[in-house]
Chain A
Amino acid sequence: MTVTTEELKALSADLVVDARGVSCPGPILAAKKAIGGLAVGGVMEVQATDSGTLKDIPAWSKKMGHDYLGAFDEAGCIKLYLRKTK
């Protein structure tokens, strides 16, 4: 499920994970650590500057069974969104 950038921007994340400035595998480690604190159905926003996360967070979400919603770049900060499903 991928939503439009406008819809993503309108989303209010229940949890924001700051992985800016961190290189691989930092962002997915941060995402894994943080998602435990999110309720099922909640939306997590991962902020990153490593361009690899654009592929990595979707792959991580798929493997973990969460719904990846999409991403956009805001002034060099990549914001990725996913919904916790279990």
Chain B
Amino acid sequence: MDTSKKTIIVFSGDFDRVFAAFVIANGAAAMGDDVTMFFTFWGLNALRKPEKIKVDGKTGLQKAFAAMMPRGTDKLKLSHMNFGGAGPRMFKHVMKQKNVMSLDELIESAREQGIKFVACTMSMDVMGISPEELIDGVECVGVASYLGEADEANVNLFV
């Protein structure tokens, strides 16, 4: 098996974009590749726990940012045709009909396959998201850690 490495930067928090990133990540892992997904800015919202978690030490603006952004996969918007939240519901309905895996299933599968999730501490800080608000098993890193991984990868995507 010709193992190589893939890195994916998940910058967007749009449901469809995050979904595509996880399909590619899962496919690559199934083909024997090591995969690292680097979540930054809006992409962090995909990794947020759905429940509200009280964290001390946030500034007013950080609190406001965190409150305004979607918490978790179920709250993500579509990049097109969002229709005030009706779009994602229609999308999910059709995906279920077509037996497409759900975003949560893809994330679960990514974990099972050993895909590494890393989150950018700088954007977490700006957006008022603390590590305990993210799902378990996410490593919080800086840009150099990502670049170190990207150096070893033969494919790098920015989503």
**A77 cross-chain contacts in B, Cβ below 8 A:** none
Q: Does B26 lie at the interface of the complex (its beta carbon under 8 Å from any beta carbon of A)?
A: yes
Contact between chains at A26 and B99 (CB < 8 Å):
yes
Other-chain contact of A63, B2, B23, B100 (Cβ < 8 Å): B2
Query: Is the CB–CB distance between A32 and B99 below 8 Å?
Result: no
Residues B30 and A22 in contact, CB atoms below 8 Å apart: no
Per-residue CB proximity of A46-86 to B under 8 Å, as 1/0?
A: 00000000000001100111000000000000000000001
Q: How large is the interface on A (under 10, 10 to 19, 20 to 34, 35 or more residues)?
A: 10 to 19
Query: For chain A, what secondary structure do more than half of its interface residues adopt (helix, strand, loop), or is it mixed?
Result: helix
Cross-chain contact of B30 among A23, A28, A86 (Cβ < 8 A): A28
Tell me which residues across on chain B come within 8 A of A86, comparing CB atoms: 1
Q: How far apart are the CA atoms of A18 and B99 in the complex, in Å? A: 14
Closest to A26 in B: B101
Check A29 against B100 for contact (C-beta < 8 Å): no
CB-CB nearest in chain A for B27: A25
Top 6 nearest A-B pairs by Cβ distance?
A32-B30, A23-B100, A63-B31, A25-B27, A28-B30, A21-B99
